[in-house]
Structure 1
Amino acid sequence: MSETYEVTVTREGKWWMIEVPALGDDGLTQARRLGEAELMARELIAVSAGKPLADINVSVHVKLDAEGPDLTERAEKIKQDRERAAKYESTSVASARALAHEMAAASVPVRDIGQLLDVSFQRASQLIKS
């Protein structure tokens, strides 16, 4: 049965300090890179609690210092914003392509299509050909 542990990661000099409060005084390890923090925390918990690594989940909260705000939520919002922006970009390109095709079918010059779509005539030509 897997259990999720709360983990706080803070920066201390050149190291990321990884604290697992559920383990008490023994719940501290470190990592050189932030990307190593989750695995290091899971390994510490596995050894301390005598559980298989596969049964351990962690919820990592990153802070610059112990008193600072949780940066994980802000980073997650940025990730969601990027995903939303990529979706909008994809929709926008599809719409521009459809309009460019419509206009080209009506014999509108490529330069005029580019002008209306606020893209170069080369990009307008790419949209028409795609």
Structure 2
Amino acid sequence: MAMNCEVQLRRSGRWWTVDIPELGIYTQVRVLAQAEIVAREAIATQLKIPADTVEMTMVVPEAAPVLQPVLEARQARAAAVISEHTALAQAANVLVTHLGMRPGDAAVLLGIERQQVDQLVQAQA
């Protein structure tokens, strides 16, 4: 089942409420770290599917404005890592294959290990 359930979490005294409105599930946990496990099991039981196939989005509405910039920063960092890997692969390939540079020298220029240069060049081949 490709359904992605939204799990709303709210602080209620010393407890956290776990609310899954679309399935009519409401429960609570003492510690926020337990919420994902409890929600996953509740959804799996309700839908009669294996717990490891449950897709859900955990949301703390009150904290969303504070957490949004963190999420955006993490997404930007992930995109930068992909971009860096692509640039390194292209540069390693040009330095070694087209300019005839030794992989060790290319590694120094790129600021990476020689083995990584070898892997990048082989992946480009």
TM-score (norm 2): 0.56
The structure-2 alpha-carbon separation of the partners of 1:125 and 1:16, relative to structure 1 and needing over 3 Å to count, comes to same
- The Cα shift of 1:109 comes to 0.6
Match of 1:78 among 70, 92, 95: 70
The structure-2 alpha-carbon separation of the partners of 1:124 and 1:11, relative to structure 1 and needing over 3 Å to count, comes to farther
Aligned to 1:94: 86
How many pairs align? 86
Is the counterpart of residue 104 in structure 1 residue 104 in structure 2? no
2: CA distance, partners of 1:109 / 1:99: 13
Match of 2:108 among 115, 120, 123: 115
1: CA distance, partners of 2:122 / 2:86: 13
- The Cα shift of 1:11 comes to 4.9
Aligned to 1:9: 10
**Identical positions, percent:** 14
**Mapped contact 2:18–2:35 kept (Cα < 8 A):** no
**Alpha-carbon displacement from aligned partner over 1:34-86 (angstroms, at most 9, x marks no partner):** 444xx9xxxxxxxxxxxxxxxxxxx851xxxxxxxx32222222222111111
- Superposed CA RMSD: 2.8
The structure-2 alpha-carbon separation of the partners of 1:128 and 1:10, relative to structure 1 and needing over 3 Å to count, comes to same
Letter in 1 for 2:11: T
Letter in 1 for 2:73: D
Letter in 2 for 1:9: R
**Mapped contact 1:17–1:31 kept (Cα < 8 A):** yes
- The Cα shift of 1:88 comes to 0.8
**Mapped contact 1:10–1:18 kept (Cα < 8 A):** no
2: CA distance, partners of 1:9 / 1:119: 45
Is the counterpart of residue 128 in structure 1 residue 125 in structure 2? no
